[in-house]
Structure 1
């Protein structure tokens, strides 16, 4: 009995060290009380970033995910991670905001001590997110979609706090901030006028214009890379632009983003498992769009493909480097963006993708 009493006394003393109630401020300025490190987590988005910061072991505490946000947006990435860690496929799916299948009841049934949502998910859920808060469940908002250094860094430090990996979170946040400062410094030294840039999601192929980007994602990345985003005056976040406006703007450089799992055979293929030859073939077809042969970007061979999944994530510093290198080649001659992209995976994640993540129309 005395031995058990001694064990219990140790437990009572030790438990506050293992878990501590803290008040943190999320990326939209909400103060949230969370028992850290969290033990039962529902994760809405940014799955790979959570793993990069918290380590693979952080997923031992994840009890629910919005699976379609992973499987649907970057399917090859999901398969790569599940092949390494099959238990990911066993995590309960709580539904996805985009497809209007997110279930508050499913989340509540998991008895979570923390729900992490992307800013766009939190806003879209509205009253449903408030229901979770009213039930006493801490909801923390993070944001990589904004593609600002400030929010990338803040979200990364938050992941460090939430997973009990503050040091690792600070290290990756500093790496990202340092990489972006290096880009800005190099661009500033160029002394050149900002090249005009157009970025389009190539999911519809060359026959139909798809989304371009204004303030966030590829639009913000182009701006961070020192480009003058021609869509910014016409598209706030993302959406189509009048094809005539592209012709009038005469972009100096064009980027077509692509994904790894397209139903449209003419769509831009990019990402894990994609061969360079296939990506270049489909990229080249965009040159045939009406009026594009007269654009400076096409005349000068400045048409490029980039991986859609390489945005809104911590590894996107390498894609910003790639964009900047195409805009200011003299300033980035010693930078190998794709080596940096893969190097990030090798250092911070348990898997390293193989495929095509950025490509020029000319070999």
Structure 2
């Protein structure tokens, strides 16, 4: 006589479990709820497919559409295409700078749209988000770019929760946090000198010099135990100074960023499918150019080049290790950034692309 109520209670419990929402609080503090883990996602930035790849064996299967103003770099795209041919079925929902077609998104019938902190500051994107939510499409904000040290771990947890990959997300977070904590702990003593660092982004020997204010590379430099002197002249995320300003500032370290996109501009070439010889040749051309060659940092061997697209991805932990070892070799002699990169590729990423990620003066 007691069996029937027990069965009824079990049925109700199962029903409640089936109806339970998947929830997460996004980077803006907004609660996002889904009836089940997302499996038709629209990415506001195409390059964030590789972030999903840190927690899913087949991230392509989860993505219905993406905006292409910040796409995967061509070699990484080719590696994904080789392993996941279905990537060509992902539809574009916008190609221009911060362009997003609400109609194209709605037509894909997604269960989640992922936007970024940069989108939140764009009034047009605020309107687009309101239109998407009015159509019943949940929107979550993440950030791996504007404030990477503050927002990377929460953003990984957001994506892990909303795509049913909490365990995988936590596994990468532990890997990331252990390395970040090691850097911070070794630099915790305020008596440790912080060298003055100039970040020359998208570096070329002409039209000098783009550099960074607060956020992004500034965060990487300060976490690695340096002072970003670009913030003295640039108040926004990105700005320009003259070569004369740079020479007068006389930084202790000169760090240039580059990529395959700089090849046509005669600049620093680094990244996937770039060989070490091309990277070194482009770096030598940059640092031997008039003005740059006279920098004390160049003359003393305190110059280096790094891949620009370490930004906007959790793999920036590799860059932080590299910078910390460059600025403080006595504290980080046992740290191997290349080993960290290889472990990420072997343990977490579904694809691996060889390349040259940094370059230093030849001895």
Q: Same fold (TM over 0.5)?
A: yes
Match of 1:161 in 2: 161
Q: Give 1:242 shift.
A: 3.0
Q: 1:171 to 1:83 in 2, by over 3 A?
A: same
Q: 1:276 to 1:12 in 2, by over 3 A?
A: farther
Q: Give 1:165 shift.
A: 1.0
Rounded Cα–Cα distance in structure 1 between residues aligned with 2:98 and 2:146: 21
The runs of 5 or more residues in structure 1 that have no matched partner are 1-10
Q: If the length of structure 2 is used for normalisation, what is the TM-score? A: 0.89
Match of 1:121 in 2: 119
Q: Residues 33-67 of structure 1: CA distance to partner in whole angstroms, max 9, x if unpaired?
A: 222311321112222111212x1334323211123
User: Would you say 1:51 and 2:53 are equivalent positions?
Assistant: yes
Match of 1:39 in 2: 39
Q: Give 1:265 shift.
A: 4.8
Q: 1:187 to 1:105 in 2, by over 3 A?
A: same
Bigger drift between 192-201 and 116-125 goes to 116-125
Q: Give 1:210 shift.
A: 4.2
Q: Give 1:271 shift.
A: 0.6
- Give the RMSD, CA atoms, in angstroms: 2.3
Match of 2:61 in 1: 60
Q: Residues 297-331 of structure 1: CA distance to partner in whole angstroms, max 9, x if unpaired?
A: 11211111111112221111011100111100011
The runs of 5 or more residues in structure 2 that have no matched partner are 1-10
Length, aligned pairs only: 349
1:187 touches 1:328 (CA, 8 Å); kept in 2? no
Q: 1:15 to 1:114 in 2, by over 3 A?
A: farther
Q: If the length of structure 1 is used for normalisation, what is the TM-score? A: 0.89
Q: 1:75 to 1:239 in 2, by over 3 A?
A: farther
Secondary structure at the residue paired with 1:314?
Answer: coil
Q: Residues 249-304 of structure 1: CA distance to partner in whole angstroms, max 9, x if unpaired?
A: 21111111111244525121101111111111111122234433342211211111
Rounded Cα–Cα distance in structure 2 between residues aligned with 1:97 and 1:186: 43
The partner residue of 2:106 within 93, 103, 108 is 108
Match of 1:77 in 2: 76
1:257 touches 1:308 (CA, 8 Å); kept in 2? yes
1:201 touches 1:256 (CA, 8 Å); kept in 2? yes
Q: Residues 209-244 of structure 1: CA distance to partner in whole angstroms, max 9, x if unpaired?
A: 242111122121111111110111222211212333
Match of 2:94 in 1: 95
User: Would you say 1:28 and 2:28 are equivalent positions?
Assistant: yes
Rounded Cα–Cα distance in structure 1 between residues aligned with 2:253 and 2:328: 11
Q: 1:321 to 1:170 in 2, by over 3 A?
A: same
Secondary structure at the residue paired with 2:53?
Answer: helix
